[in-house]
Amino acid sequence: MLRILCKSKITNAFITDKIQHHSGSIGVDKAILEDADLLPGEQVQVLNMDNGERFETYVIEEKERSGKIVLYGPAVRKGEIGDELVILSYCLLETKECHNQKQRLVSLAKNNQCKSK
């Protein structure tokens, strides 16, 4: 049996920009992606702590150490600059593999810089 487990979790991420006329997704600083073990194009679930919105999209890589968290396309309607986000990714694992799965947690500090893993 396959189970869905949380693979990566980014907390304390704040929206820095919004670009409406784009095909859509969420841009994330490359350093944050690496710390969270996320790949460009990987599906994520985004939770907005300020308005309760939840949506699924995919990741676009932003410049490393830029601190950028950017909503693109239709996602711009899901938050405002300054809103706090939690970004989650999941993996499918066989039940026996689940016990060894370690969730990657990245908590961001001021200006969306990596604080802890």
- Catalytic annotation, pick one of 8, 23, 58, 72: 58
Indicate if the alpha-carbon torsion angle 72, 77, 83, 87 is positive or negative.
negative
* pLDDT digit string, tens, across residues 45-103: 999 999 999 999 999 999 999 999 999 999 999 999 999 999 999 999 999 898 888 99
pTM for this structure?
0.94
Between strands 84-94 and 43-48, the pairing is: antiparallel
Please confirm, yes or no, whether 66 is among the known catalytic residues. no
* pLDDT digit string, tens, across residues 12-43: 999 999 999 888 799 999 999 999 999 999 99
Please confirm, yes or no, whether 58 is among the known catalytic residues. yes
Residue 25: CA atoms inside 13 Å, Cβ hemisphere, count? 13
- Catalytic annotation, pick one of 25, 66, 72, 89: 25
Tell me the domains of the chain and their CATH numbers. 7-92 (2.40.40.20)
Please give the DSSP secondary-structure letter assigned to residue 43.
E
